[in-house]
Structure 1
């Protein structure tokens, strides 16, 4: 399961992030306005034992310095990836907003977000009339894993997976609840149950 950080700092978030990482979550650090120094402090505070689960959205040059091997590029910055990316040590993810964009992905991408699945929980108005969840059935690109994003919570995540997503990413559902760790555990259990059902 993937969790994306809140865009702005939240009280107690470092402790919450550490606990999420201990649960095995892949944590995307998305902080568009953060500077290099403060991002480095945040990463260090999360602990060196968790670096393999952390994904940087900004300040990518910190990755090699801090020992991070996962980088995310949004759709606007996707072209900035160097040609040697496919053979270097990093794992790459990106963002897409319709199935044609997802299907057209080539290059080093391990997975891509497809959003919005539902009305956003963290961005009021976003995704209300632009849901792409039913486009999942038009997926042709099987090489890149498809991660559903946008308005996903414990009540609708099963639908996204049933439509053909490989996994889901949570943001507002985690950061807007008073008990984010308990919520994450509940979502992980739902995912585990779905995977068990697929095996039979």
Structure 2
């Protein structure tokens, strides 16, 4: 990404995009697990819940640590955002990501519900673990942003490719701004006044 590129570019916060899937995956996972507990299943509730707890922990860890080297490399090479760059609101970034992934989330929820007939609650807890992992990854990005005293941004047009992965192959680099830019705190949470949430 050239520093001398004067074209108008829309930028979305990296941490906001990462965090966008956390809430729907968590709540759909909790709902699917709650329904699953009501089903006896093939394995029985006790085994299902124990398996689900293990899946929750493993999934959360895998999602939280996945592609950290890629994120780190992109962050290290981030170019300073220019005056022609347009910073996208947090709500718009979240809405765009969820709209682009809504059918995948619905499908994951349906599969988690269906798995309750075999292994009660396990599928829902796996889904909730994925949501937790995304929140942990966003928090890690937030700690990095605070340490480097920058916020990391990604071009919106690159997010439109390959399902909107913020560290996907279509992403050539990040841009950075000061810590006070935009309406989201380090880590992607909603900004409330001047206090970082």
TM-score, normalised by the number of residues in structure 2:
0.24
Greater fraction of residues in helix: 2
Greater fraction of residues in strand: 1
TM-score, normalised by the number of residues in structure 1:
0.23
